[in-house]
Amino acid sequence: MRRFLLAAAAGILVSATAQAQVTEDDLKNDQTITTQIVTNGMGRHLQRYSPLKIVNKENVKNLLPVWAFSLGGEKQRGQESQPLVYDGVMYITASYSRLFAIDARTGEEIWQYDARLPEGILPCCDVINRGAAIYGDKIYFGTLDARIVALDRKTGDVVWRKKIADYKAGYSYTAAPIIVNGLVITGNSGGEFGIVGEVQARDAETGEMVWTRPVIEGHMGTYKGKPSTMTGKLNATWPGDLWKTGGGATWLGGSYDAETDTLVFGAGNPAPWNSHLRNAGEPRPDNSGDNLYAASRIGINPANGEIKWHFQTTPREGWDFDGVNEVVPFVDAKGDKRFATADRNGFFYVLNREDGAFVDAFPFVKNITWAKGIDKNGRPIYVEENRPGNPSAAADGAKGETIFAVPSFLGGKNWMPMAYSQDTGLFYVPSNEWGMDIWNEPISYKKGAAYLGAGFTIKPLFEDHIGSLKAIDPLTGETQWEYKNNAPLWGGVMTTAGGLVFTGTPEGLFKAFDDETGEELWSFQTGSGIVGQPVTWEMDGEQYVAVISGWGGAVPLWGGEVAKKVNYLNQGGLVWVFKVPKQLVSAN
């Protein structure tokens, strides 16, 4: 449902918007065109780096709010979105599958679209949405009932709306789409319901499907409506029929490396969590229990959906260590073209951009228990006694041996995006230091029902902090500096040529740090926990910074003992926009 305000008819903004068209070149150069943000990640490589330096280390102390916009009503839950900005308009998605167009200069609403969500949706981890994508004269975003919607960017009217998957079977959709060469490319959510992860590409103009690529072996891809190739080889690493409900949700979306023309999507945990039910509880010399391509990063040809390469971070996965975290192309200090990804399993990986081959890995959180390290081939060196026990080996068969695992299933890093600075060569990684008691239980698949086969309780590791923002050197694995936060960090990070690193905390503080030293240079209390993604852009010769504030997401729903520590935090829903006033830009 689209709501159009009288203010827009009265002349706020609109005429110029109708003329502007976002092109493939705009998408390709989104990082360097500082007057716009038309992609998730401030560039399809997801570096979240801006070359702007009007706001810098010397004057960020003068950063002041310009306007705030309320997402309002009773729908103040888990605001994990990233704003987009184009032609004087800010677009932001919100909880319960809503999208707002806002005058970027005044903060006045232009239009609002509310998806009509059916009864019985099954979102795993709150009613969140992580953002939209712009192309041509349209804006695209996904909804919790597993649909993708294209709206007229000027009016908010629906141009087309397509079904990604069946929400009644546990599918949903929460990620920002990615657009490459006129194709709108989406993943899916629902890994806890025995779904099958898939990447889909549609014609941006019509919404018609061009290709599909399931990410669990045994499933057939399609191209232009006909079967194309099978993913992997049937039953090579999955026993029996378990591949049919194998999980691997592609719920965080993907990145795009233009130099190698490669989409990189992550695949989530295999289903069920109980690895013994997948005959993957014991190591095999031929790696036939790996359960491909769950818990993997997958390189895909964007033209036809064919898999170019894969790298599995956690073979025989048994702790809910999804492999979906973003894969960021960069050039290291030696001049080598690499990918970087900070996995839920607690290890930071560096891969070759040509073929996804393993280069290096190192832990980025403390006290990892499930593996001793990563071998020369990129496979974990498992501590087998720290795999949750097999229920069938228990006396009553109802519950396997409980073990304490670090990190917890919410990960050393979860969905919250890291940032890369082209100036320092460092990655700024929002991480959490926590563990969990976890045990396996018997489970059988039932359509639309939770398909875990495990129980768990998350526990903090240290008394003084859970959250940890780390500046990591991808060449050495060394942490250059660390900011510790009492509550878990669950929001995105941004870095700028002004020498700044921006992120927010669940306690509501939006902060700016010195990118070299980690010194806190500025903070602002937004009134609710920040789990959104900051952005910056240039407008009328001034640099603006924005973030969405609104506590929620997975932590209060799944956080165990950690959830009790943050249950005092208030929900909310505000977009905050800041700038340094012109007269204070040069003030020290």
Please list the active-site residues. 320
Nearest to 297 by CA among 268, 332, 272: 268
Ordered alpha helix ranges (H), 269-354? none
Q: Is residue 88 within 8 Å of 80, Cβ to Cβ?
A: no
Q: What is the dihedral of CA 415, 421, 425, 426, to 10 degrees?
A: -40
d(CA 181, CA 204): 9
Give the whole-angstrom CA distance, residue 439 versus residue 274. Answer: 8
CB 158 within 8 A of CB 149: yes
Beta bridge partners of 459: 435
Closest CA to 323 of 367, 265, 275: 265
Contacts of 477 (CB under 8 A, 6+ apart): 348, 360, 362, 363, 364
| Contact yes or no for 456/410 (Cβ under 8 A) | no
Whole-angstrom distance, CA of residue 79 vs CA of residue 200? 25
Residue 386, phi then psi, degrees to nearest 5: -105, 25
d(CA 380, CA 358): 12
Cis peptide before 272 (omega within 30 of 0): yes
Q: How far apart are CA 477 and CA 332, in angstroms?
A: 12
**E strand spans, 43-97:** 49-50, 64-70, 84-86, 89-94
Q: How far apart are the first and last CA of the chain?
A: 48
What's the rounded Cα separation, in Å, for the pair 552 and 570? 9
Structure tokens given for 460:
């903090």
